[in-house]
Amino acid sequence: MTTREPGQPRSDRSPWNWLLVLPIALPLMTFLFNADEPRLLGFPLFYWLQIAFIAVGVACTTIVYRMTR
Amino acid sequence: MSLHMTEIVIFTVLFLAVSGMGFVAARWRRPTDLASLHEWGLGGRNFGSWITWFLIGGDLYTAYTFVAVPALLFGAGAAGFFAVPYTVITYPIVFLVMIRLWSVSHVHRLVTPADFVRARFGSPTLALLVAITGIVATMPYIALQLVGIEAVLKTMGVAGSGFLSDLPLIVAFVILAAYTYQSGLRAPALIAFVKDVLIYLVILVAIVYIPARLGGWGAIFDGAKAKFEATPAPNDGYLLNANNQLQYVTLALGSALALFLYPHSVTGVLASRNRDVIKRNMSALPAYSLLLALIALLGYMAISAGVKPIGKDVNTVVPQLFDQMFPDWFTGIAFAAVGIGALVPAAIMSIAAANLFTRNIYREYVNRTPTDAQEAKVSKVTSLVVKIGAVLFILLIDPQFSIDLQLIGGVMILQTLPSVALGLFTRWFHRAGLIAGWVAGMGGGLLMLYSITNPATNHAHFGGSAFPLANLGLDTKITVYAGFLALLLNLAVAVIGTLVARAAKAPDGPDATRPGDYTADEGDPQVRDVNLSGST
């Protein structure tokens, strides 16, 4: 944002924004995680993988935030 | 009662200490004058990243969530875990939306989502519909925060039956009402720090200490599996089945879309200092989702621990679990965390509802040119009225009614998506089309909810949000989130309505915003007042 030319309007457009699709799409695909095995630390796949998607969400939004600042 | 003395003492001390903070908050980051909505209702529009993180986190992840989500897992299993994907996908969805809302609100000094609709589409009618939707959807939500406190009080044995037993609840809300009146949004912003520290502490201890006592996570999940395999109900289970997967996905998506349409979320966003604060928060807020996932699993821990809810109130399973597992002094801290956790969202919600009334009903229909001080005064009084209404709601009517209403509220608030969220990106829609879409979505949504039965909770109508496609005559057992279907209907009607209105050359409202307004940032020039003279 700080690098734009004077007089030129700001824009929110950036190819990096497409990265946001990933954390939206993954948690909606139940076939990826609707199973018991493999377990992780006693957690069935259904639970640990959906918790892992939180990390995917954080990573993607952080990257987009950093790259479009 | 004497059994819970330690818990009651610790709960009371922490609760009162936090209430003291609420009153002091008026002096925190003190403005020259609190008497305007920008100060009282939006905390000076100047909160940085940390305050915003605590404020929005405290606002979205409410005491009710902490009590109800584990209760859902306790009762229905995997279907209740939708809260996790829901709060994962909401941030990337609104990442690019909320910064535009912040910018246009910054330039035009807007306070509510309905303010934006008024400025964008030049239609007081559409703005009024959005405002009323917001108020109606928020009211039961405030009432539900009381359900959270009540669940804790019940477990401590201080809430039973009779009028006197409601006294602790009334006292708690009177205190809340008083300091919100006094300090505005600064109060919940300051209290949110304490609330979160307590909640994080309790949950971190809970997820280490309780599984250790119950034989580890594997045993906890096996216990849940065994419980659901033993029940005859078709739609519970510790995994999803063929019929409720679509419901799970549409409920998560619909809830994610609805979350930032709620007036209290918008209030939290607009109180931040600049766009950078919002963007940074969209990547930092999911920390709360991790917390929520762990809290949700308390429901399974309760199954393994053999917890029995008090009466038929499943919302008491988490307080009961704490009571059973923790030493008394720590249970007191845990209960205080839930109680204080209810105060933050209740305060923000009542402020948001009051702002909607002031800006979009009082200002539009009663006093067209109020001073800043008059606006602040009206909002302060309205916030009191809203809270009294919420207390009466819980005390006089079956709390189940608030739970049903909150469910309906989610479907309703989703119907403002075309005008608020899509309106931030396009002015293509005609105001008549949007109004028609709102009517169709609202009507269709209510009809669908009305047709949903739930024998388990003895509901012939409004028995949940899972709409069986069989009700439409389809030969299937698949269910879908009613709000999602209603939104599709809303969008279809809005598109058709817009095409018809354009073809009929119906006059469209003026747009008070310019494209550059949607990317403006801190330091850019502001328009002091939106021109509200363009009528109907």
Q: Scan residues 262-291 of B and list those with Cβ closer than 8 Å to A.
A: 275-276, 279-280, 282-284, 286-287, 289-290
- B228 has a chain A CB within 8 A of its CB: no
Residue B227 predicted with pLDDT over 50: yes
Q: What is the mean pLDDT of chain B?
A: 87
- B219 has a chain A CB within 8 A of its CB: yes
End-to-end CA distance of chain A: give it in Å, rounded: 6
Q: What is the pLDDT of residue B533?
A: 42
User: What digits encode the pLDDT tens for the residues B108-136?
Assistant: 999 999 999 999 999 999 999 999 999 99
Residue B1 predicted with pLDDT over 60: no
Specify the higher pLDDT residue, B58 or A10: B58
Q: What is the pLDDT of residue B342?
A: 86
- A21 has a chain B CB within 8 A of its CB: yes
Shortest distance between the Cα of B253 and any Cα of chain A, in A, equals: 8
Q: What is the mean pLDDT of chain A?
A: 86
Q: What is the pLDDT of residue B60?
A: 85
Q: What is the pLDDT of residue B170?
A: 83
Q: What is the pLDDT of residue B469?
A: 87
- Which of B252, B283, B519 has its CB closest to that of A10? B519
Residue B160 predicted with pLDDT over 60: no
Question: Do A39 and B88 lie within an 8 Å CB cutoff?
Answer: no
Q: Which CATH architecture has domain B36-401?
A: Up-down Bundle (1.20)
Residue A6 predicted with pLDDT over 90: no
CA A23, CA B334: separation in Å to the nearest integer?
32
Band (B534; pLDDT cuts 50, 70, 90): very low
CB contacts, 8 Å: B519 with chain A: 9-12
Shortest distance between the Cα of B479 and any Cα of chain A, in A, equals: 15
Q: Scan residues 245-264 of B and list those with Cβ closer than 8 Å to A.
A: 245, 248-249, 252-253
pTM: 0.89
Interface test with A, best of B82, B101, B239, B241 (most A CBs within 10 A): B239
Secondary structure of A1-62 as H, E, C letters: CCCCCCCCCCCCCCHHHHHHHHHHHHHHCHHHCCCCCCCECCECHHHHHHHHHHHHHHHHHH
Question: Do A20 and B516 lie within an 8 Å CB cutoff?
Answer: no
- Which of B217, B290, B521 has its CB closest to that of A42? B217
Shortest distance between the Cα of A24 and any Cα of chain B, in A, equals: 5
Quote the crossing angle between the two packed helices B286-296 and B275-284, to the nearest 10°: 30
The contacts of residue B8 (CB under 8 Å, 6+ apart) are: B156, B158, B332
CA B457, CA B467: separation in Å to the nearest integer?
16
Residue B172 predicted with pLDDT over 50: yes
Q: What is the pLDDT of residue B532?
A: 45
Question: Do A62 and B81 lie within an 8 Å CB cutoff?
Answer: no
CA B478, CA B459: separation in Å to the nearest integer?
20
Q: What is the pLDDT of residue A57?
A: 93
CB contacts, 8 Å: B248 with chain A: 30
Q: What is the pLDDT of residue A42?
A: 87
Q: What is the mean pLDDT of residues B185-195?
A: 87
- A53 has a chain B CB within 8 A of its CB: yes
- B325 has a chain A CB within 8 A of its CB: no
CB contacts, 8 Å: A22 with chain B: 92
Q: What is the mean pLDDT of residues B267-277?
A: 91
Q: What is the pLDDT of residue A7?
A: 56
Q: How many other CB atoms are there within 10 angstroms of residue B46's CB atom?
A: 17
Q: What is the pLDDT of residue B509?
A: 87
Residue B2 predicted with pLDDT over 70: no
Residue type for position B191 = I
Residue B40 predicted with pLDDT over 90: no
DSSP letter at B507 equals P
Q: What is the pLDDT of residue B63?
A: 78
- B243 has a chain A CB within 8 A of its CB: no
Residue A2 predicted with pLDDT over 60: no
Specify the higher pLDDT residue, B29 or B389: B389
Angle (CA) B197-B201-B207 rounded to 5° is 145
Provide the greatest CA pair distance for chain A: 58
Structure tokens at B114: 């309905």
The contacts of residue B168 (CB under 8 Å, 6+ apart) are: B153, B158, B159
CB contacts, 8 Å: A41 with chain B: 217
Residue B285 predicted with pLDDT over 80: yes
User: What digits encode the pLDDT tens for the residues A38-53?
Assistant: 989 889 999 999 999 9
Q: Scan residues 176-205 of B and list those with Cβ closer than 8 Å to A.
A: none
Band (B164; pLDDT cuts 50, 70, 90): low
- Which of B88, B220, B283 has its CB closest to that of A27? B88
Q: CB–CB of A58/B283 below 8 Å?
A: yes
Band (B301; pLDDT cuts 50, 70, 90): very high
CA B353, CA B311: separation in Å to the nearest integer?
33
Comparing alpha-carbon positions, the chain B residue that sits nearest to A45 is B239
Residue B501 predicted with pLDDT over 60: yes
Residue B159 predicted with pLDDT over 70: no
Strand partners, B479: B468
Shortest distance between the Cα of B101 and any Cα of chain A, in A, equals: 13
Specify the higher pLDDT residue, A68 or B400: A68
Q: CB–CB of A24/B58 below 8 Å?
A: no
Interface contacts A/B by beta carbons within 8 Å? 115
| Least trusted range by pLDDT, from A30-34, B52-56, B117-121, B235-239 | B235-239
- A15 has a chain B CB within 8 A of its CB: no
User: What digits encode the pLDDT tens for the residues B68-96?
Assistant: 889 889 988 898 899 999 999 999 998 88
User: What digits encode the pLDDT tens for the residues B17-31?
Assistant: 888 888 888 777 777
User: How is chain B split into domains, by residue range?
Assistant: 36-401
